[in-house]
Homo-oligomer: A and B are copies of this chain.
Amino acid sequence: MVVLFAFVAGVLALLYAIFLIFNVTSRPSGSPRMVEISDAIKNGANAYLFRQYKTLVPIIIILSIVLFFVFGWVTVGTFLLGAVLSALAGYIGMNISVRANVRTAEAAKSGLANALNIAFRGGAVTGLVVAGLALLGVTAVFYLTQSVALTIGFGFGASLISLFMRVGGGIFTKAADVGADLVGKIEKGIPEDDPRNPAVIADNVGDCVGDCAGMAADLFESYGITLVAAMILGVLIGGNMVVFPLAIGAAGIIASVIGTFFVRLGKNQNIWNALFRGVLVTAVISAIMFYLTSTFLLKDIQGKFAFSPNISIFLAAVVGLVVTVVISYITEFYTGRDKKPVREVAEASKSGPAINIISGLALGLRSTFPTTILIISAILAAYYLAGVIGIAIAALGMLSVTGMIVAVDSYGPITDNAGGIAEMSKLPPHVRKVTDALDAVGNTTKAVTKGFAIGSAALAALSLFVAYAEATQLQAIDVLKPQVVIGLFIGGMIPFLVSSLLIRSVGKAAFSIVEEVRRQFKTIKGLMQGKAKPDYGKCVDITTRAALKEFVTPGVIAIVTPLSVGFILGPEALGGMLAGSIVTGFLLAVMQTVAGGAWDNTKKFIEAGNLGGKGSFAHVASVVGDTVGDGLKDTSGPSQNPLIKVMNMVALLFASLIVAYSLL
């Protein structure tokens, strides 16, 4: 019956998404010039995504063959399902974005309410598809195989694709962004989104493939694998606890669908309030439904709980909701344009770029303190309430509102794109003013969802870690053993190494864009005067190739490292490695995301006319910080989430083999 409930909720999400797609695409898409630009973005994004998928095919085939010989065809099937659905979630999310962007720009002509409406509905499609597909996928695998263990293959497929999409999209978006800015804004002194900039379309494509497709795949994965981990740990308790995770998922989806109706611009025209109301309603309805489902399903389960089983589990899920709210608050505090930390970085910018960098870096490092305290409090509370399953339930409680969170997040790149289209099609200033207002809030929601993605990834990875220990039947992962210490060091180091690779990839890719943009400005006569058109496609193509060349290595590291440690040093060492990777992956994700976000908003704060405004010494310094932060906050930082999840997933999948065949 719970399975049926989950099916219904998943299908409901998809149906409502389809309704929204029709609704959004039926809106007018503006002048031929606007359609032309929008088409260029759409084609670039689709071309990138298809080439990315094509690059992945051989990897998927090799892994399928390995999985076939090791685990048989059922696992291959579930693996492929996870991979395909993950890719599909990204694909749909991106495609609605490239359709909603131009329509948001068009709607902006008639005011804020209309534009917000379309942009948010576009985002909601992505949110509902992500949550719906993940829930349906896990439910289907469980229903068809009647085995919790076989959902692991699904999780692995989802996990792997999400890492590749996060990394690939992340490199693309930042390479294009940095490349466009370095020549356009700094060397040539033309504004953001200026149609004369040859990299401007690539920049917009990047928003779609990175922020939409990448984020969608990432949260699809977090959601899917947390369901898997919670079900695996649920088996230990038995009874309805096995399927209860699906019920939480279903409850969250229904709450998200209802929540979308509450996103409406109030009389005070406050966009953030409109979006936040949606999130709040979703959280409250979720909590109520958690209470009802746990009371209905979990009254009779056995196990050690702080209170009665249903209340304990309910409270553990609420812990997750609380983490969602608090981590959003922390991220917003450290990166918000009007908050003290960013003002301090702005103040420091008066002493030049070096001091701007130093103070942003210090800020990012410092923000790990409250975030860590939050996560350990959640772990402590969840464990106190319900033991290890409590941690998985807290993660799930957090992720249950994924639909709404992704909706609010995907709204960001849509409005960002809409602004770009308005600028490039030379729409009247009041239109750009509307899209700018939407975009400003988009930056906040982006920061908030990044916090959400990091926190949920940490809890999801921890759940997988516990599930791994369960699967290997390890009695302990003892740091006093040298192989565990070694595992800890290796695991701790991997996020540093992958960060390095990604930061370098962005730098290299951006460099090739810089050269191409410079070349076009030099060789295309009349480009600077606006008399000739740049070759947008060439920049998209270069970014695509650069991203494709770079996005595979981190994925390979994420698969090879846990297998090497496991098969050479043994399952306990692998446990140490996983723990190490979760800790530093989490810390580096927080640090990079916050530092990057703060640098970005420092620049915006100064551009808003503070401390001398645009063109001042402080502004020049803040542009340097923003450029440094771009790769940290949108590529390297967010990639830590899928990285730690994939490593834990690989370990979980190969757990029994590692126990049987490890060298030591």
CA distance in complex: A484, B497 (Å)? 25
- Interface size bracket, A side: 35 or more
| Cross-chain contact of A580 among B483, B497, B507, B583 (Cβ < 8 A) | B583
Specify which of A477, A576, A623 lies most central, judged by the most chain B CB atoms within 10 Å of its CB: A477
Assess A514 versus B351: contact at CB under 8 Å? Given A379-B482, A480-B477, A486-B380: yes
Digitize A494-514: 1 where CB-to-B-CB distance is under 8 Å, 0 elsewhere. 001101110110110011001
Q: State how many angstroms separate the Cβ of A483 from the closest Cβ of chain B.
A: 8
Q: Is A107 an interface residue (CB 8 A)?
A: no
Assess A489 versus B358: contact at CB under 8 Å? Given A352-B182, A480-B474, A580-B583: no
Residues of B contacting A580 in the complex (Cβ-Cβ under 8 angstroms): 583
Assess A357 versus B462: contact at CB under 8 Å? Given A182-B351, A500-B362, A583-B488: no
Q: State how many angstroms separate the Cβ of A624 from the closest Cβ of chain B.
A: 5
Q: State how many angstroms separate the Cβ of A161 from the closest Cβ of chain B.
A: 25
Q: Is A295 an interface residue (CB 8 A)?
A: no
Residues of B contacting A492 in the complex (Cβ-Cβ under 8 angstroms): 372, 492, 583-584, 587
Residues of B contacting A623 in the complex (Cβ-Cβ under 8 angstroms): 354
Q: State how many angstroms separate the Cβ of A467 from the closest Cβ of chain B.
A: 11
Q: Is A614 an interface residue (CB 8 A)?
A: no
Q: Is A365 an interface residue (CB 8 A)?
A: yes
CA distance in complex: A369, B510 (Å)? 25
B628 with A507: CB separation less than 8 A: no
Q: State how many angstroms separate the Cβ of A517 from the closest Cβ of chain B.
A: 12
Residues of B contacting A474 in the complex (Cβ-Cβ under 8 angstroms): 480
Residues of B contacting A358 in the complex (Cβ-Cβ under 8 angstroms): 503-504, 506-507, 627-628, 631
Residues of B contacting A369 in the complex (Cβ-Cβ under 8 angstroms): 493, 496-497
How many monomers of this chain does the complex have? 2
B496 with A587: CB separation less than 8 A: yes
Q: State how many angstroms separate the Cβ of A629 from the closest Cβ of chain B.
A: 9
Residues of B contacting A178 in the complex (Cβ-Cβ under 8 angstroms): 354
Q: State how many angstroms separate the Cβ of A590 from the closest Cβ of chain B.
A: 9
A479 with B480: CB separation less than 8 A: no
| Cross-chain contact of A476 among B469, B480, B493 (Cβ < 8 A) | B480
A379 with B485: CB separation less than 8 A: yes
A500 with B363: CB separation less than 8 A: yes
Q: State how many angstroms separate the Cβ of A625 from the closest Cβ of chain B.
A: 8
Q: Is A330 an interface residue (CB 8 A)?
A: no
Q: Is A376 an interface residue (CB 8 A)?
A: yes
Q: Is A579 an interface residue (CB 8 A)?
A: yes
Identify which of residues 515-555 in chain A touch chain B, using a CB-to-CB cut-off of 8 Å.
none
**What residue in chain B is nearest A511 (Cβ atoms)?**
B351
Digitize A253-291: 1 where CB-to-B-CB distance is under 8 Å, 0 elsewhere. 000000000000000000000000000000000000000
Assess A497 versus B366: contact at CB under 8 Å? Given A485-B379, A486-B376: yes
Residues of B contacting A587 in the complex (Cβ-Cβ under 8 angstroms): 492-493, 496, 584
Assess A362 versus B503: contact at CB under 8 Å? Given A369-B497, A485-B379: yes
Q: State how many angstroms separate the Cβ of A327 from the closest Cβ of chain B.
A: 14
Residues of B contacting A480 in the complex (Cβ-Cβ under 8 angstroms): 466, 469, 474, 476-477, 575
Identify which of residues 332-391 in chain A touch chain B, using a CB-to-CB cut-off of 8 Å.
348, 351-355, 357-359, 361-366, 368-369, 372, 375-376, 379-380, 383, 388, 391
Residues of B contacting A348 in the complex (Cβ-Cβ under 8 angstroms): 507
Residues of B contacting A575 in the complex (Cβ-Cβ under 8 angstroms): 479-480
Assess A507 versus B368: contact at CB under 8 Å? Given A376-B490, A478-B477, A624-B353: no
CA distance in complex: A596, B126 (Å)? 43
Residues of B contacting A391 in the complex (Cβ-Cβ under 8 angstroms): 482
Residues of B contacting A380 in the complex (Cβ-Cβ under 8 angstroms): 482-483, 486
Q: Is A591 an interface residue (CB 8 A)?
A: yes
Residues of B contacting A576 in the complex (Cβ-Cβ under 8 angstroms): 479
Residues of B contacting A466 in the complex (Cβ-Cβ under 8 angstroms): 480
Assess A504 versus B359: contact at CB under 8 Å? Given A583-B488, A587-B492: yes
Identify which of residues 568-622 in chain A touch chain B, using a CB-to-CB cut-off of 8 Å.
575-576, 579-580, 583-584, 586-587, 591
CA distance in complex: A476, B624 (Å)? 48
Q: State how many angstroms separate the Cβ of A125 from the closest Cβ of chain B.
A: 35
Q: State how many angstroms separate the Cβ of A552 from the closest Cβ of chain B.
A: 18
A365 with B500: CB separation less than 8 A: yes
A368 with B624: CB separation less than 8 A: no
Q: State how many angstroms separate the Cβ of A367 from the closest Cβ of chain B.
A: 8
Q: State how many angstroms separate the Cβ of A271 from the closest Cβ of chain B.
A: 31
**What residue in chain B is nearest A481 (Cβ atoms)?**
B476
Identify which of residues 66-97 in chain A touch chain B, using a CB-to-CB cut-off of 8 Å.
none
| Cross-chain contact of A355 among B490, B496, B500, B511 (Cβ < 8 A) | B511
B497 with A579: CB separation less than 8 A: no
A359 with B482: CB separation less than 8 A: no
CA distance in complex: A490, B484 (Å)? 18
Q: State how many angstroms separate the Cβ of A72 from the closest Cβ of chain B.
A: 30
| Cross-chain contact of A496 among B352, B368, B483, B490 (Cβ < 8 A) | B368
Q: State how many angstroms separate the Cβ of A425 from the closest Cβ of chain B.
A: 30
CA distance in complex: A485, B476 (Å)? 12
Q: State how many angstroms separate the Cβ of A285 from the closest Cβ of chain B.
A: 30
A500 with B379: CB separation less than 8 A: no
Assess A503 versus B627: contact at CB under 8 Å? Given A478-B477, A482-B383, A583-B584: no
Specify which of A359, A477, A489 lies most central, judged by the most chain B CB atoms within 10 Å of its CB: A489
B624 with A496: CB separation less than 8 A: no
**What residue in chain B is nearest A591 (Cβ atoms)?**
B496
Residues of B contacting A511 in the complex (Cβ-Cβ under 8 angstroms): 351, 355
Closest 5 CB pairs of A and B: A365-B500, A354-B627, A366-B500, A476-B478, A492-B583
Can you offer 19 A-B residue contacts whose CB atoms are under 8 A?
A: A182-B351, A355-B627, A357-B357, A357-B628, A358-B506, A362-B499, A365-B499, A376-B489, A469-B480, A474-B480, A476-B479, A476-B480, A478-B479, A479-B479, A479-B484, A489-B583, A496-B591, A583-B583, A624-B624
If A351-B511, A372-B492, A383-B482 are given as contacts, then 8 extra A-B residue pairs at C-beta distance below 8 Å, sorted by A number, are A357-B624, A362-B503, A366-B496, A369-B496, A369-B497, A376-B486, A380-B482, A380-B486
